[in-house]
Amino acid sequence: MQAEKECKRCGTCCKKGGPILHIEDLPLCRKGVLPIHKLITIRKGEPSFNPFSEQVEPAKQEMIKVAGKGASWECVFYDAAPSSCTIHADRPLECRQLECWDTTQIAAVYGKNCLNRFALINENEPILRLIKDHERQCSYLAALPIIDRMAAGSVSSGDLEKLTKLMQDDLVLRDRAVSALSLSLAQELFYFGRPLFQTLQHPALRVTLDGGCIRLETNG
CA dist list (Å): 151 to 56, 205, 215: 14, 10, 19
Better-scored residue on pLDDT, 214 or 218: 214
Side-chain-facing half-sphere of 14: CA atoms under 13 Å: 23
CA dist list (Å): 62 to 46, 48, 51, 135, 201: 9, 11, 16, 11, 19
∠ Cα 130 73 198 (to 5°)? 50
Domain boundaries, the chain: 12-119, 127-218
pLDDT at site 4? 64
**150, 205 Cβ separation under 8 angstroms:** yes
pLDDT at residue 19 is higher than 90: yes
pLDDT at residue 3 is higher than 80: no
pLDDT at site 170? 97
Distance, in Å, from the CA atom of 90 to the CA atom of 26, rounded to the nearest integer, reads 12
Q: Tell me the whole-structure pTM to 2 decimals.
A: 0.90
Helices (H), 17-156: 26-30, 93-97, 104-109, 127-137, 140-151
Distance, in Å, from the CA atom of 83 to the CA atom of 166, rounded to the nearest integer, reads 41
pLDDT at site 1? 40
pLDDT at site 220? 59
130-145 residue pLDDT tens? 999 999 999 999 999 9
- The full DSSP string for 162-195 is HHHHHHHHHHHHHHHHHHHHT--HHHHHHHH-S-
Distance, in Å, from the CA atom of 149 to the CA atom of 52, rounded to the nearest integer, reads 26
Q: Span 77-87, mean pLDDT?
A: 91
Q: Span 175-202, mean pLDDT?
A: 95
Sign of CA pseudo-dihedral 188, 192, 193, 194: negative
Distance, in Å, from the CA atom of 146 to the CA atom of 68, rounded to the nearest integer, reads 29
Distance, in Å, from the CA atom of 207 to the CA atom of 141, rounded to the nearest integer, reads 20
Q: Identify the band that residue 177 occupies on the pLDDT scale cut at 50, 70 and 90.
A: very high
Of 67-81, 98-112, 172-186, give the range with the top mean pLDDT: 172-186
Contacts by 105-108 with C-beta closer than 8 Å and gap 24+? Answer: 107/52
Better-scored residue on pLDDT, 147 or 70: 147
Length of the chain: 220
Q: Span 30-39, mean pLDDT?
A: 96
